[in-house]
């Protein structure tokens, strides 16, 4: 099996109000709306898939979950930045289909409907602490951490068993639009997360 690793930042915006219960219940508690609709974006700072260098590549996901996260039957799609090589696109497709094990293996079990891969312009940048994500004509998001009691510190859930990362910065979507695959979502004011990821299959 190919060896792979990804380090970087992962930002997620979903349909849950206040905050997504899946982070703490690990999928055993239903989403606040009874179902989950979400998009996520990934900035890869350092990454490799066998001999393919993935550093600097940006990607995004769409995931739709009909009920409890742990019950599966997810629908999903992958977007990869247009600047990425065809080898990087193939590598990320293997990783996010869960077919090469490791941190994303559960996707091979839970995703029942994979809608495909699109290569489009993706922009992921910072404006202060706000993460600005644009996927050409598909995603328009601005995600800001929730401030904590101590000045200059954000609210962070630490040491969880959440599959994305053990430490999750609680955030809110200042704006969050998704339009593709027959979906037209607006999650402004709803739950969001920011995670520093360290994924792989070694």
Q: Is the predicted pLDDT of residue 70 greater than 80, yes or no?
A: yes
CA-wise closest residue to 111 among 164, 179, 65: 65
Taking the C-alpha atoms of residue 16 and residue 37, their distance in angstroms, rounded to an integer, is 8
* pLDDT over 70 percentage in the chain: 100
Q: Provide Rg for the chain, Cα atoms.
A: 16
Regarding beta strands 139-145 and 168-180, do their DSSP bridges make them parallel or antiparallel, or are they unpaired?
Answer: antiparallel
pLDDT confidence band for 30 (50 / 70 / 90): confident
Q: What is the mean pLDDT of residues 59-64?
A: 98
pLDDT confidence band for 68 (50 / 70 / 90): confident
53-62, 66-75, 151-160, 186-195: range with lowest mean pLDDT: 66-75
What are the tens digits of pLDDT across the range 131-146? 999 999 999 999 999 9
pLDDT confidence band for 202 (50 / 70 / 90): confident
Residue 115: exposed, middle, or buried by beta-carbon count in 10 A (0-12, 13-18, 19+)? middle
CA-wise closest residue to 103 among 182, 57, 42: 42
Regarding beta strands 74-81 and 111-120, do their DSSP bridges make them parallel or antiparallel, or are they unpaired?
Answer: parallel
pLDDT confidence band for 20 (50 / 70 / 90): confident
Taking the C-alpha atoms of residue 138 and residue 181, their distance in angstroms, rounded to an integer, is 10
């Amino acid at each position: 099996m190919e060896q792979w690793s990804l380090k970087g930042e992962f930002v997620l915006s979903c349909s849950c109000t206040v905050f997504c219960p899946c982070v703490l219940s690990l999928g055993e508690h239903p989403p606040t709306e009874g179902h989950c609709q979400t998009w996520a974006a990934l900035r890869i700072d350092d990454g490799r898939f066998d001999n393919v260098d993935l550093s600097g590549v940006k990607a995004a996901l769409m995931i739709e979950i009909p009920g409890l996260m742990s019950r599966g039957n997810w629908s999903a799609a992958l977007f990869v930045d247009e600047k990425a090589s065809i080898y990087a696109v193939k590598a990320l497709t293997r990783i996010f289909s869960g077919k090469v094990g490791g941190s994303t293996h559960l996707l091979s079990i839970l995703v029942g409907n994979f809608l495909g891969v699109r290569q489009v312009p993706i922009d992921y940048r910072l404006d202060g602490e706000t993460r600005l994500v644009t996927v050409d004509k598909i995603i328009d998001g601005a995600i800001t951490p929730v401030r904590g009691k101590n000045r200059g510190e954000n609210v962070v859930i630490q040491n969880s068993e959440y599959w994305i990362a053990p430490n999750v910065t609680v955030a809110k979507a200042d704006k969050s639009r998704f339009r593709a695959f027959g979906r037209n979502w607006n999650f402004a004011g709803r739950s969001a997360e920011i995670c520093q990821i360290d994924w792989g299959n070694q």
